[in-house]
Amino acid sequence: MTVRWADLADLILIVAREIQFRGYSDERAVQLSQSEGMVMRHLVLHASATPSQIAAATGLQRTNVSPVLRDLETKGLIERHVDPQDRRGVSVHRTRRGAENYALVRKEWGSAVSAAAGGDTAGLDAAVALLKTIEAGLTATRPNVSDKPVRDPVRRHDI
């Protein structure tokens, strides 16, 4: 049984890399690093968040979140707003461009995966359900990364 789970994990990594490798056919798509992609994924699900909330949700080290946010802001995908009450706190919001970019790249990912499977949807619901369970289990048991550096070895590749 362990070998089958290892095979599945290996295939997930291979498929993810193949999706990243192909890039985007739509020239409007903004390419992001893995860390930038994780932050945008969180902000699509949550309209706004503090940098600390983003770090906790994505598993990124808090000190690594600031440069990622700076890069996303430069690309026009997020905005940072100072808390009007204490002037020290910051909330991060996705921009319309950020939400549109995420929708655009998801569409391309879906098209690529569908084409690779020959459009066969047999077992698709079961596969999605299993992967959601795995993602939730891995996230719930994520080690505390607050003191550990998170590597993003390939700085500029697609999410």
Answer for the pair 129, 89: CB distance below 8 angstroms, yes or no.
no
State both tokens at 18: 């193949």
Domain ranges of the chain: 2-140
Q: Which CATH number fits domain 2-140: 1.20.120.1200, 3.30.70.1450, 2.60.40.1120, 1.10.10.10?
A: 1.10.10.10
Identify each DSSP E strand in 28-126 by its residue range. Answer: 48-49, 78-82, 90-94
Report d(CA 9, CA 113) in Å as an integer: 17
Q: Token match 């990124």: residue? A: 60
159 residues of the chain, pLDDT tens digit each: 699 999 999 999 999 999 888 889 999 999 888 899 999 999 999 989 999 999 999 999 999 999 999 999 999 999 999 877 777 789 999 999 999 999 999 999 999 999 999 999 999 999 999 999 999 999 999 887 554 444 444 443 445
State both tokens at 6: 């290892």
